[in-house]
Structure 1
Amino acid sequence: MSEVMLEQKSALHSRQAQQARTRARWRNELTGFAFVLPFLLAYAIFLIWPVILGFRMSFFNWSLAGTGTDTFLGLSNYVEALGDSNLWGALGNTLLFTIISTPILVILSLVLALLANMAIPARWLFRLAFFAPYVLPVSVVILIWNWLYQPGYGLINSMLTTFGLKEVGWLTDPNAAMMSVVIVTIWWTVGFNFLLYLAGLQQIPQETYEAASIDGANAWSKFISMTIPLLRNTTVTVVILQVISSLQLFAQPFLLTGGGPNFVTRPVLQYVYETAFTSFRIGFASAMSYLFFLVVLIVTIVQFIILYRGEAKGNE
């Protein structure tokens, strides 16, 4: 009888202890949720709700001028957007910018990270110099490069004429304008990718390189057979982030060239902006925004599929 009572008391104490742990866990979770709740509310108010409202607007003749905002158009805005040659031209400019800038930014950032990771005096100065432009606001960046690109007194054209070369209309020549935007973007944003690669390099154990040196490997073979494979995850991250960032091109051409000359540097987001706030066609601009979102989403999914397949092959 006493053994049964002891077992019942033990079971009761066990249940009470479990209930106490459950209450403590719920108390901790509710406390954490209370701290996160203000952010969730702000996120819902300033991001989720505008996304839902914008999607609704895309089905209406919504205008900043206040006319026809209640006129339901169905899919007419989307059909018009798919047949809009200006949108296709802007998409082509965006893709061209992405194709040109992404490989350069990835390769250059890796090279700079390798240089800054070398055991040389004052290497912190190189790290600072490579990363510093990234912290500048885009308006300051454009102000600097607008002066550099100017004909006559601009530093770049002055150097060209010093060597007997012709001036280049960096901002006025349709053949040079896109490359001008690419150069500005590279100078401004390479610091972020550089920092990611530098962090990846510092995660590689030095013992690995020392063992390879003992086996007779030179610097090039260590770079090809060790550094690049060990930086694979970093490279994938850099490429994905860079492609998404390049597809969101807006401020550089908008402030530097205004999308010109002849709209050769006008990206999708600038065309959407002009449609919404110059032509006042908010509904049509919303439809274009969601179509472009699908493009970015598809590109991102393709990148993750390639990443997944690469990891699967690496694990075989």
Structure 2
Amino acid sequence: MTAAPAMTRATRTSPHTLATKRRSPLSGGDSRGAWLFLAPFGLFYVAFLLGPTVWMLITSFFNTSTVKTGLGSFAGFKNYGEMLGRADFWSAMWHTLQFTLYTTPPLVVLAFVFAILTNRVRRGQWFFRLAFFLPYILPSATISLIWVFIFTPGSGLWASAQQAVGITPGAGVLASPATAMIGIAIATVWWTLGFNFVLYLAGLQEIPRELYEAAAVDGATTWEQIRFITLPLLGRTTTLVILLQIIASLKIFDQVYLMTSGGPGISTQVALTLITGTAFTDNRVGAGSAASVLLFIVIIVIAVVRQIIDRSLARKAA
């Protein structure tokens, strides 16, 4: 007599268990590990970025000073009114805008042109990437020192080039109020061109070569290929490059401080040199913080406008 087969009971998984499994791919331990990896950056962000920003906003409403402890007396919007009524504040904002106008167009156009030329090179692209990007990794102090030597009157490379073509060197590029900002802009373009160049080159390499081959078969010239294929497909990259460049130009400080210290006179004084001078040299942190907030608002507005443009381009592409 054979034994009856054992009855197996089908196990059922409750909907709650399925929902729990689908809720997150990370278990509790993995989630804690992820937070531990994020903790160093989070501490750095709070201590050196978020914390100073909040402190700047708070001190802009007080008569805070570096020679007294605490926030000082409450000032309300007097610091903002004072900065908006100062002639040197508007002069510094104009010099900042002037520097932005001097640097943004060449940094966008030259990076685009050099990226297109490099992208057409079949071999040895690594050399051009290195050559263009190498100055960008140098510190601002080194770049400023190099270009101060170049613009040195009498013995600098620029003076030697002028003498070679029969031009009598003047007092120097950085010594004249009319040309000092141009000299700083030239140094900045040479220094930061490689970053935009790499962004454009990465965008160009994402475009399928079949599009260019098909356009060439249809009889499109090189300029027509750039106009109707390259420029439209690099639209979002261009908006990103322009936004990053404008924000970086509005935050100009190192080159001006190291090359001219805002001179001659105040002809190259920009927003950040005015802010640091007001806050630390004049010991008026509250007024300097108010100017910082005003500059911060300008940067936020530009970022919002860029986001709107980016979304409109995405809709057109879709």
Instruction: Give me the TM-score of the superposition, normalised by structure 2.
Output: 0.90
Are the counterparts in 1 of residues 100 and 249 from structure 2 also a CA contact under 8 Å?
Answer: yes
Are the counterparts in 1 of residues 235 and 313 from structure 2 also a CA contact under 8 Å?
Answer: no
Are the counterparts in 1 of residues 243 and 302 from structure 2 also a CA contact under 8 Å?
Answer: no
**Partner secondary structure for residue 178 of structure 2:** helix
- In 2, Cα distance between equivalents of 1:213 and 1:70: 70
- For 1:160-179, what aligned pairs fall within 5 Å after superposition? 160-168=162-170, 169-179=172-182
What residue number does 1:309 align with? Answer: 312
Instruction: Give me the TM-score of the superposition, normalised by structure 1.
Output: 0.90
AA of the residue aligned to 2:141: S
**Partner secondary structure for residue 164 of structure 1:** coil
**Partner secondary structure for residue 175 of structure 1:** coil
Q: 2:152 aligns with which of 150, 153, 169?
A: 150
- For 1:97-116, what aligned pairs fall within 5 Å after superposition? 97-116=99-118
AA of the residue aligned to 1:217: A
Q: How far apart are residue 16 of structure 1 and its match?
A: 4.5
For residues 254-295 of structure 1, the C-alpha deviation after alignment (integer angstroms, 9 at most, x for no partner) is 111111112111110011011112111111111110111111
- For 1:109-258, what aligned pairs fall within 5 Å after superposition? 109-119=111-121, 121-168=123-170, 169-258=172-261
What residue number does 2:97 align with? Answer: 95
What residue number does 2:293 align with? Answer: 290
RMSD between aligned residues: 2.2
Gaps of 5+ in 2: 1-8
**Aligned in 2, Cα 1:80/1:119: closer, same or farther, shift over 3 Å?**
same
- In 1, Cα distance between equivalents of 2:115 and 2:180: 29
Identity value in percent? 41
**Aligned in 2, Cα 1:19/1:157: closer, same or farther, shift over 3 Å?**
closer
AA of the residue aligned to 1:51: T
User: Higher helix proportion, which one?
Assistant: 1
- In 2, Cα distance between equivalents of 1:110 and 1:298: 26
- In 1, Cα distance between equivalents of 2:12 and 2:127: 67
- Single out whichever of 160-169 and 276-285 deviates more from structure 2: 160-169
For residues 121-143 of structure 1, the C-alpha deviation after alignment (integer angstroms, 9 at most, x for no partner) is 53432221111111111111111
For residues 56-105 of structure 1, the C-alpha deviation after alignment (integer angstroms, 9 at most, x for no partner) is 21111111122785211111111111111111100000011111210110
- In 2, Cα distance between equivalents of 1:100 and 1:42: 34
Are the counterparts in 2 of residues 131 and 195 from structure 1 also a CA contact under 8 Å?
Answer: yes
- In 1, Cα distance between equivalents of 2:109 and 2:101: 13
**Aligned in 2, Cα 1:122/1:74: closer, same or farther, shift over 3 Å?**
same
Are the counterparts in 1 of residues 149 and 156 from structure 2 also a CA contact under 8 Å?
Answer: yes
For residues 214-249 of structure 1, the C-alpha deviation after alignment (integer angstroms, 9 at most, x for no partner) is 111121111111111111111111111111111111
AA of the residue aligned to 2:156: G
For residues 160-199 of structure 1, the C-alpha deviation after alignment (integer angstroms, 9 at most, x for no partner) is 1121113242001111111101100000000000000011
**Aligned in 2, Cα 1:46/1:130: closer, same or farther, shift over 3 Å?**
closer
What residue number does 1:52 align with? Answer: 54
Q: How far apart are residue 38 of structure 1 and its match?
A: 3.7
Are the counterparts in 1 of residues 99 and 181 from structure 2 also a CA contact under 8 Å?
Answer: yes
- For 1:61-76, what aligned pairs fall within 5 Å after superposition? 61-66=63-68, 69-76=71-78
**Aligned in 2, Cα 1:143/1:24: closer, same or farther, shift over 3 Å?**
closer
**Partner secondary structure for residue 170 of structure 1:** coil
